[in-house]
Amino acid sequence: MTMVITVISDNSIIMTVDKRVTKSNGLGRGVEVVSDDYKKIKIIKNKYIVTFAGRADIAEKAFEYIDAKIDGINNYIDPHQPKLYSFSSDDDYIGVEREAAIKLHSNNPEQEDLLRDETVNFIGREIAKQPLYYQFPQNLSKLYSKAIKRVDNIMIGNTTYSVVLSSAGVEEYNH
């Protein structure tokens, strides 16, 4: 399972994801942690950020493809207006424009829905306590990291990586 929190805030996009990679031990015998230091967000030409939930080997091939085709992709995207698109097997990879997204990848959709709802509620409560503090993207990235770390699941790690993309550039945070 992977957990990704992505939000458009003013003129920036904040993306936070856990850094754990796991693999199945085979025949349903459990899960093995491969890494807690895998950056699941790819920064492309300091203008785009892409992440994934699912198999790391497939994501790496997708990242290679994006690198090879980025000049053609530039023709379709307005670099002055932040946009968040979600592509998922859930919607046949059509691409849905969003203002915020919390994505989890697991084999249990009911668990995903419960975790997503609980995470939204947690973030909302925390922002309500300190609205001025959370006006800053770097503080929001810390909150999203805290929200991810609260999930008690072997497939979601306790280390996170955040990228804030704005007109001022790219900022990276390891939590």
Total domains in the chain come to 1
What is the pTM for the complete model shown? 0.86
CATH number at residue 10: 3.60.20.10
How much is the pLDDT for 141? 96
User: What are the percentages of helix, strand and coil residues in the chain, rounded to 5?
Assistant: 35, 30, 35
Q: How many CB atoms lie within 10 A of CB 157?
A: 23
Q: Closest Cα to residue 97, out of 13, 171, 2, 3?
A: 13
Domain around 59: 3-174
**pLDDT truncated to tens, each residue of the chain (175 aa)?**
788 999 988 788 999 999 998 888 776 678 889 899 999 888 887 878 888 877 778 878 888 887 787 777 666 666 666 667 766 666 666 666 777 888 876 667 788 889 999 999 999 999 999 999 999 999 999 999 999 999 988 888 899 999 999 888 899 999 9
How much is the pLDDT for 127? 97
The first and second tokens of residue 136, run together, are 């800053």
Alpha carbon distances (Å) from 113 to 11, 20, 105, 116, 117: 29, 20, 11, 5, 6
